[in-house]
């Protein structure tokens, strides 16, 4: 069966009338399994889903890429619609407090919102902790923790475990999803805090599949150094996926560098 994916919420809209926000939510349909991958910052993703004819309450699995508010804030809006026994897959560290320090020195909390945590606590029985590569459905995998092996890839921001900014947050809970198909790997990123290159190489090693057919999601390159941007762009050019869709936290510079890279987009 054909695989399809729809971006339910993003920083930009690619169809008139769709709402936007700083957040990400993706609907993935493998033909046999339906997956809601993240829930954005608010319930706006549900309105967009309705506009494009998708019903997130029919999801077979809910996947949370990591514990930041812009990927989890919309979870509470699923209360009362998503069946209570739908498995929820995430790293157990999503519940940890975390902070971001802005360029002006202002420190803000960016962790799991209270209502999202309440939503998850009511479904604790169906929470499936993911710390290593795990197959959640036939040929559908989650990375779990990704080894940080490249010298130039970092978390993509000034992230901390405490408001005093004394303990760096490496965002170990960052995970990505991949689907194995005859045409190659379909890879879906949340924010790629582990680094795009680290993630792709890890998935290739675990799956034993080199060909990447599709790569979509946040790459957190908007504040990346020139060296990191150039090396990431070179890696993606060599990877040459048939569908390449950096979005959400990726920034414009990586898209400028990839203008000559084969690309496409999913349904948006």
For the segment 206-244, what is each residue's pLDDT rounded down to a tens digit?
Answer: 999 999 999 999 999 999 999 999 999 999 999 999 999
Torsions phi, psi for 141 (to 5 deg): -125, 155
SS3 194: coil
pLDDT digit string, tens, across residues 184-202:
999 999 999 999 999 999 9
Banded model confidence at residue 262, pLDDT cuts 50, 70, 90: very low
Dist CA 188 CA 64 (whole Å) = 12
pLDDT over 50 at 156, yes or no: yes
Distance CA 142, CA 136 (A): 7
Q: Report the candidate in 140, 142, 247, 141 with the shortest Cα–Cα distance to residue 191.
A: 247
- Output the pTM of the full model: 0.95
Name the DSSP class of 152.
S
For β-strands 177-181 and 184-189, DSSP reports them as antiparallel
CA-to-CA distance for 29 and 26, rounded, in angstroms? Answer: 10
Closest CA to 131 of 149, 110, 119, 147: 147
Alpha-carbon span 203 to 197, nearest angstrom: 10
Helix segments in the chain, DSSP class H: 44-51, 69-72, 114-121, 196-207, 226-239, 252-257
Tell me: pLDDT of 172 over 80.
yes
Euclidean distance between CA atoms 142 and 207, whole angstroms: 11
pLDDT in tens, 28-49: 999 999 999 999 999 999 999 9
Q: Is the pLDDT of residue 125 over 50?
A: yes
What pLDDT score does 112 carry?
A: 97
Q: How far apart are the first and last CA of the chain?
A: 20
| pLDDT over 70 percentage in the chain | 97
- Would you say residue 267 has pLDDT above 80? no
Q: What is the mean pLDDT of the chain?
A: 95
Domains of the chain: 4-257 (3.60.15.10)
pLDDT mean over 124-137: 98
Residue pointed to by tokens 């967009």:
48
According to the model, what pLDDT value does residue 207 have?
A: 98
DSSP state of 41: S
Cα gap 132→119, rounded to integer Å: 24
The predicted pLDDT at position 260 comes to 53
Residues 229/195, Cβ–Cβ less than 8 Å:
no
Cα Dmax for the chain: 51
CB 186 within 8 A of CB 124: no
Say if residue 70's pLDDT is above 70: yes
Sheet holding 134-137, edge to edge: 134-137, 140-142, 177-181, 184-189, 212-218, 243-247
Eight-class DSSP state of 56 = G
């Amino acid at each position: 069966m054909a695989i399809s994916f729809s971006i339910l919420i993003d920083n930009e809209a690619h169809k008139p009338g769709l709402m936007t926000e700083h957040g990400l939510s993706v609907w993935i349909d493998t033909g046999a399994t339906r997956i809601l991958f993240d829930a954005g910052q608010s319930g706006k993703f549900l309105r967009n889903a309705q506009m494009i004819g998708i019903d997130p309450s029919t999801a077979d699995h809910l996947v949370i890429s990591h514990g930041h508010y812009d990927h989890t804030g919309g979870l509470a809006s699923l209360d009362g619609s998503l069946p209570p026994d739908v498995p929820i897959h995430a790293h157990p560290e999503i519940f940890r407090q975390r902070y971001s320090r802005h360029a002006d020195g202002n420190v803000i909390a960016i962790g799991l919102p209270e209502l999202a945590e309440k939503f998850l606590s009511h479904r604790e029985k169906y929470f499936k902790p993911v710390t290593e590569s795990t197959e959640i459905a036939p040929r559908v995998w989650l990375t779990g923790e990704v080894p940080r092996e490249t010298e130039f890839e970092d978390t993509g921001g000034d992230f901390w475990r405490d408001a005093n900014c004394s303990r760096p947050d490496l965002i170990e809970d960052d995970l990505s999803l991949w689907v194995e198909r005859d045409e190659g790997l379909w890879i879906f990123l949340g924010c790629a805090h582990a680094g795009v290159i680290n993630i792709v190489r890890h998935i290739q090693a675990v799956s034993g599949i080199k060909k990447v057919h599709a790569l979509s999601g946040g790459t957190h390159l908007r504040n990346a150094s020139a060296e990191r941007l150039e090396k990431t762009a070179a890696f993606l050019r060599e990877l040459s996926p048939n569908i390449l869709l950096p979005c959400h936290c990726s920034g414009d510079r990586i898209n400028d560098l990839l203008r000559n890279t084969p690309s496409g987009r999913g349904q948006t």
